[in-house]
Amino acid sequence: MLPGVARAGDLDVELGLGVGITLLGERRATGGMTLQPSASVGWRFSERWSLRYRNAVSLFNLKTPRWIGVIDMNAALLGIHLRDLTLEVGPSLDVFAVPLCADDTWCQREHGLAPAIHLGAMLLLAPESRLGGRGTVHTTYIPGIAWSGISISAAVEGVYRF
């Protein structure tokens, strides 16, 4: 049986704030500790399954304004509900403005779009609770001039569900 069309009352909204780490680069890495605000809207269309659009912004290198890195993660997620635990997986198209460094020479800020994969798990504090915690791992392929490769962002966040 196909799910019906979502009505406004069937949607839920989440706001979150997390901390983590972003690994970016090889010999001259430019990632670091990450602040990660997030927002998402989801539709649970059955007891076990849901769809969610999640936007999270990873901000790193905050101590050096010239080299602040931003990865804006836009993920379309499939949720698998197991009681109070929800597993999330899906593709993402990320927008980035990050400092990238060549192995032994120069660094520069680069901008662009990047394909990514998102994995996450959310645990509600209680069955009817609006508060929860989420752990995420987000892997992005950064196509740069100074450096191209895989960026990994991992974070834990507190979440409030409306």
69 part of a folded domain: yes
- The amino acid at residue 15 is L
Could you tell me if residue 9 is inside a domain? Answer: no
| Residue 67 included in any domain | yes
- d(CA 94, CA 36) in angstroms, rounded, equals 14
Q: Record the tokens describing residue 41, joined without a space.
A: 């809207």
Q: In the chain, what's the furthest Cα-to-Cα distance?
A: 59
CATH number for position 106: 2.40.160.20
91: domain range? 14-161
For residue 2, tell me if it sits in a domain.
no
Q: What does the buried/exposed string (b/e) look like for 93-113 if buried means 16 or more CB atoms within 10 Å of the residue's CB?
A: ebebebbbbeeeeebebbeee
Give me the amino acid identity at 70.
V
Specify the number of domains making up the chain: 1
pLDDT score at 122: 96
Which residues are paired to 63 by β-bridges?
Answer: none
**Residue 1: inside a domain:** no
Rounded CA-CA distance 89/109 in Å is 30
pLDDT in tens, the chain (162 residues): 334 444 445 799 999 999 999 998 777 778 889 999 999 999 999 989 999 999 999 999 888 888 899 999 999 999 999 988 999 999 999 999 998 887 667 888 899 999 999 999 999 988 788 999 999 999 999 998 888 889 999 999 999 998
